[in-house]
Amino acid sequence: MIDDAIAESCVSEMAKLSPFGKEVISYEIQDDFQFVLLSVVTDGVSDVSPLDRKRIAALVDGIVPKRNGEYSWMVNFTLKGQIFDSYFGGDLMSPDSGL
């Protein structure tokens, strides 16, 4: 089960270990508390490589509980209101999928 504490932990760790502050990271818990969608607004941050974004996704993967047969999280990176990169994971049957 994913609750606000888990989602807030993701936000805090992402803010601590990346150039993004908490004010540009939001979350939405979905699927009867089984999935969290995190969104990162990258406007104004010019120095974030695909490797940095993948590292952020791996961080989330280490925090959010996993499910069997379904994903439990997604991180969308947006620029000027459009999603330009996305990572997902949390499926025990497919642990490297989406990373």
Domains annotated for the chain, with CATH where assigned, are 4-89 (3.30.460)
Look at residue 80 in the predicted model and tell me its pLDDT. Answer: 93
Bridge partners, residue 67, by sequence: 91
Look at residue 48 in the predicted model and tell me its pLDDT. Answer: 79
**And the tokens for 39?**
């969104």
pLDDT truncated to tens, each residue of the chain (99 aa)?
Answer: 999 999 999 999 999 999 999 999 999 999 999 999 999 999 988 777 888 899 999 999 999 999 999 999 999 999 999 999 999 999 999 988 887
* Half-sphere exposure at residue 69, Cβ-oriented, CA atoms within 13 angstroms: 0
Mapped to the 3 state alphabet, what secondary structure does the chain carry?
A: CCCHHHHHHHHHHHHHCCCCCHHHEEEEEECCCCEEEEEEECCCCCCCCHHHHHHHHHHHHHHCCCECCCCCEEEEEEECCEEEEEEEECECCCCCCCC
**And the tokens for 82?**
């459009």
